[in-house]
Amino acid sequence: MDKVHYNTLVKGKVQGVWFRKYTKDQADRLGIRGFVENDANGNVYVEAEGTTDAMDAFIETLKKGSPLSKVSQVLYDIESPKGFKEFKIIR
């Protein structure tokens, strides 16, 4: 299957609620590679790549969010894969 790369911005109450750890756990479960980080505006930014099916499932998990989070919006665009080797929490 072909791989796709998503640049994703998750808005809402997503910092200080274990959202990045949740995101990494979901990425690892789905075989997705990339990274997650907090941004200066209180959002979470994710670059991730995997199969189309895995990425569709991943976006759904981001919309759900970690147990303590309150996701208000998930925005993403699709690019060509960058060849990430693992999924990391950056900051």
Please name the residue that has the structure tokens 């998750």: 10
Q: Residue 46 corresponds to which amino acid?
A: V
User: What CA–CA distance (Å, rounded) separates 24 from 31?
Assistant: 10
What does the pLDDT profile of the chain (91 residues) look like in tens digits? 689 999 999 999 999 999 999 999 999 999 999 999 999 999 999 999 999 999 999 999 999 999 999 999 999 999 999 999 999 999 8
Q: Kind and range of the H or E element at 10?
A: strand 3-13
In a domain, 61, yes or no: yes
What is the CATH classification number for the domain harbouring 33?
Answer: 3.30.70.100
Q: Which 3 state secondary structure label does DSSP give 6?
A: strand
In a domain, 88, yes or no: no
The distance from CA 91 to its chain's CA centroid, rounded to whole angstroms, is 13
User: What CA–CA distance (Å, rounded) separates 68 from 19?
Assistant: 8
Active site amino acids: 20, 38
How confident is the model at residue 2, as a pLDDT? 85
Containing structural domain, residue 78: 3-83
